[in-house]
Chains A and B, each alone.
Chain A
Amino acid sequence: MSQNQGVMIFGEVVNGQLQAITKELLGCGRKLASELQEELSAVLLGSNLAGSAREAITFGADRVYIVDAPLLKDYQADAYMPVMERLVKQTAPRILLLGQTSIGQDLAPRLAFRLGTEATTDCIELSIDPESGLLERTKPVYGGNVMAVITGEHFPEVATVRSKAYSPLEADVSKRGEVINIEAEVEPPAMRTRIIEKVSQVAEGIRLEEAATVVAGGRGIGSNQDFKQLEELARLLKGAIGASRPPCDNGWIGDTAQIGLTGKIIAPDFYLAVALSGSSQHISGVSGAKNIVAINKDPEANIFRVARFGVVGDWKKVLPAFTARVRELAGEN
């Protein structure tokens, strides 16, 4: 068995806010650390991190390493890699968890290769095998049609965890923990790549990831103009608008609206899927939705396998009547 000890999570802070995925990782990490009876630590890179470090403790961390440096303000692999490589070598955790996010997907594989270990990406369940003590990582493969359980015997055991696969713990403000400041020591010559510009394309209104209601359209919507009907309904329901991949590829709606394996992972209370077939890759993004409702003209469409309610029919006829009735019902209050 290795000398490595403890569970470490890589946290993400945006504009001074500890991200939801980080709280979820702390929940998952706490469970594993308790099973192992070892410590849970968190690493935060960036600037203005003290508040987030404190918050990470209330969500389960025993110890938080913060690396505060101007060069680390935005995520860049060439800046983050040397810091993480050194920190992981010094602290030698048994398990290292990252989010399956834009950053985690970019950082975890490199770090694993650099450290001579291996990573498993996009895990939805992690547990300790009682016999070997190794981390068992369950991840969807073949677009979610099959599940795979994977282990490795290299340390640290690195995994990225899908958004919303784990719930955060209840924040415990009385929990004590240690905050340790680490020097960045990144020299600009190590930086081969350079960020020239960051462009935000998020639509106004309720954020897709946080919306309780999401109205989504697929290829069957047919055009930019027709998509506006869905936007109108989303507004009426105080929800957000989403899409499968083809509407994004066709420019009917912005790319940031894509839901699924390579898009956003969401878990709304109510998900209305209009004219999308429910490919396994798309469903990967809504498997946490509480109520899926589908409108599709094909009774055999896969979306009906996961939906709770459905209408089989042409959305161009079904949806306007649906929307009108929703409006009437809202007016009755």
Chain B
Amino acid sequence: MKIIVCVERGADPEAPPASFKVDAGGNRVVLAADVPVVLDPYSEYALEAALKLKDAHGGQVIALSLGTDLPREVIKKALAMGADELVLLEDEAFADGDSWSTAYALAMAIKKTGDYDLILCGRQAADWGEGQVGLGIAEVLSLPGVTVARKIDVADGKAQVERVTGDGYEVIETPLPAVVTVSNEIGEPRYPTIRGIMAAKRKEPVIWKPADIGVQPSEVGAAGRRSRLVKLFQPVHKANCQIIHGETPEEAGANLAERLRLEKLI
């Protein structure tokens, strides 16, 4: 079985809210200097889903990432966790894409990898949170797609996917190849082992340019966008929390109840 996992990197979404600022022109997000770049959390869940399937059925896992200046120490975590190959679409032409141009380039790269059984993506990226790239790849490649998976089983050329819904989940059967987007319910991503980290150090990623995947620079990245960013701005929070005190924590708790009673909240 051959599984392709799309992995993105980005600013650590757990960084304090004050670390995310907008530049004066409202064009770019400016991150505080101490915010680390990490693998996008849902990309890690997708990778974990792929590795679980590899554990059970064997096969090959290819991690695929698109961007510019992809930091090796971050992106190679995919190899350290257990992916067999790392393919990077790394070129200025791929920069600043939207869901459409990103999905298109990834789909064309996946086509180039030849036969595949399953394509996995995260349910939504931490930065723009669009939740569109996986479905976009499915549409470009005319494949069935199942979103927000909490469990994936594969047998006889089919996958059974448990899809998270608002009130539980549904089990969906899809023929392969298919695209599946993965949610955190799949289980915590594994930590890289020392052996994995050593192997990742030695392994060099394969790098593809637009011409390698048969696309024009004008079709990808910023040039291939269909949507336009008008502006970015910072939401305002009015911070006026009133702290309720007490001689002891217990008294503070009781005082809180009294106060909420006055406010008619309880």
Report A's interface with B, CB cutoff 8 A.
77-78, 101-102, 105-106, 109-110, 112-114, 117-122, 136, 139-154, 192-202, 213, 237, 245, 248-249, 255-256, 261-262, 264, 269-270, 279-281, 291, 293-295, 299, 302, 304-314, 317-326, 329-330
Residues of chain B contacted by A140 (CB below 8 angstroms): 129, 235
Report the Cα distance A27→B157, complex, angstroms: 45
Report whether A113 and B244 are in contact in the complex, using a CB–CB cutoff of 8 Å.
no
Closest residue of chain A to B240 (Cβ to Cβ) is: A308
- Contact between A311 and B253, CB atoms less than 8 A apart: yes
Give the distance to chain A from B129, nearest Cβ to Cβ, in Å: 6
B241–A309 touching, CB < 8 Å: yes
Query: Taking the complex as formed, is B226 at the interface, i.e. its CB lies under 8 A from any CB of chain A?
Result: yes
Q: Complex formed: what's the CA distance from A312 to B245 in Å?
A: 8
CB contact between A110 and one of B145, B172, B188 (< 8 Å): that residue: B145
Asked if A256 contacts B132 (CB within 8 A), the reply is no
Which residues on the B side are within 8 Å of A302 (C-beta)?
16-17
With A197-B170, A198-B168 known to touch, is A321 a contact of B251 (CB < 8 Å)?
yes
In the bound complex, do residue B232 and residue A281 qualify as a contact, i.e. CB atoms below 8 Å apart? Answer: no
- Residue pair A256, B266 in contact (C-beta under 8 Å): no
Chain B, 232-257, contact with A by CB distance < 8 Å: what is the 0/1 string? 11110101111110101111111011
- Residue-wise, chain B 31-59 has the 8 Å CB interface mask toward A (1 for contact) of 00000000000000000000000000000
Query: Please, which residue of chain B has its CB at the minimum distance from the CB of A77?
Result: B145
Of all A-B residue pairs in the complex, the 7 with the closest CB atoms, nearest first, are A321-B253, A325-B257, A322-B253, A317-B249, A113-B139, A145-B20, A201-B168
Contacting residues, chain A, for B135 (C-beta < 8 A): 106, 109-110, 113
| A152 contacts B228, C-beta separation under 8 Å | yes
Chain A nearest Cβ from B145, distance in angstroms: 7
Out of A261, A310, A323, A329, name the residue touching B243 (CB < 8 Å).
Answer: A310
15 residue pairs bridging A and B, Cβ less than 8 Å apart: A105-B147, A113-B103, A121-B131, A122-B130, A146-B233, A199-B169, A280-B17, A309-B242, A310-B243, A313-B253, A318-B252, A318-B256, A321-B249, A321-B254, A329-B261
Stretch at the interface among B76-84, B120-128, B196-204: B120-128
Q: Are B139 and A110 in contact (CB under 8 A)?
A: yes
Q: How far is the CA of A202 from the CA of B129 in the complex (A)?
A: 26
B254 and A150: CB pair below 8 A?
no
Tell me the interface secondary structure of chain A in the complex. Answer: mixed
Cβ of B8 < 8 Å from any Cβ of A? Answer: no
| Best-buried of B128, B146, B230, B266 by chain A (most CB within 10 Å) | B266
CB-nearest residue of chain B relative to A124?
A: B235
Distance, CA A136 to CA B229, complexed state (A): 10
A102 and B183 CA atoms in complex are apart in Å by 13
Binary A-proximity of B214-238 (CB < 8 A = 1, otherwise 0)? 0000000000001111111111010
**A-binding residues in B (CB < 8 A):** 11, 13-14, 16-17, 19-20, 22, 29, 98-100, 103, 123-124, 126-132, 135-136, 138-140, 144-148, 150, 160, 164-175, 183-185, 188, 226-235, 237, 239-244, 246, 248-254, 256-261, 263, 265-266
Please pick, from A101, A114, A295, A324, the residue contacting B166 in the complex, using a CB distance under 8 A.
Answer: A101
> Quick check: A293 and B22 within 8 Å, CB to CB?
no
Residues of B within 8 Å of A317, CB to CB, are 248-250, 253
List the B side residues contacting A270 at CB < 8 Å.
260, 265-266
A113 to B135, CA, bound (A): 8
Do the beta carbons of A141 and B127 come within 8 Å of each other? yes
Q: Which residue in B232, B241, B256 is a CB contact (below 8 Å) of A305? A: B241
Give the docked Cα–Cα distance between A97 and B49 (Å): 32
How many contacts between A and B, using CB within 8 angstroms?
256
Q: Which of A101, A143, A264 contacts B13 (CB 8 A)?
A: A143
A322 touches B257 (CB 8 A): yes
When chains A and B are docked, how far (Å) is the Cα of A16 from the Cα of B144?
29
A142 touches which of B103, B127, B261 (Cβ 8 Å): B127
The 8 Å CB contact of B167, one of A143, A196, A248, A256, is: A256
Q: How far is the CA of A319 from the CA of B145 in the complex (A)?
A: 45
Q: Are A262 and B184 in contact (CB under 8 A)?
A: yes
Give the shortest distance, in Å, between B175 (CB) and chain A (any CB): 6
Contact of B17 among A119, A145, A149, A318 (CB under 8 A): A145
A202 to B164 alpha-carbon distance, docked (Å): 12
B172 near A109: Cβ-Cβ < 8 Å:
no
Do B253 and A320 touch (CB < 8 A)? yes
Closest A residue by C-beta to B169: A199
- CB-CB under 8 A from B127, the residues of chain A are 141-142
Chain B residues whose C-beta falls within 8 Å of the C-beta of A249 in the assembled complex: 184-185, 188
How far apart are the CA atoms of A307 and B230 in the complex, in Å? 31
| Other 4 A-B pairs with CB < 8 A, given A195-B172, A309-B256 | A141-B129, A148-B229, A199-B171, A270-B265
Given contacts A145-B20, A200-B167, A318-B249, contact A118 B99 (CB under 8 A): yes
Contact of B244 among A144, A237, A310 (CB under 8 A): A310
Residues of B near A106 (CB, < 8 A) are 135, 147-148
Given known pairs A196-B160, A249-B188, A311-B244, the reply for A146 and B172 (CB within 8 Å) is no
Return chain B residues, CB-CB under 8 Å to A102.
148, 164-166
Q: Measured between alpha carbons, how far is A213 from B165 in the docked complex, in Å?
A: 23
Q: How far is the CA of A117 from the CA of B259 in the complex (A)?
A: 53
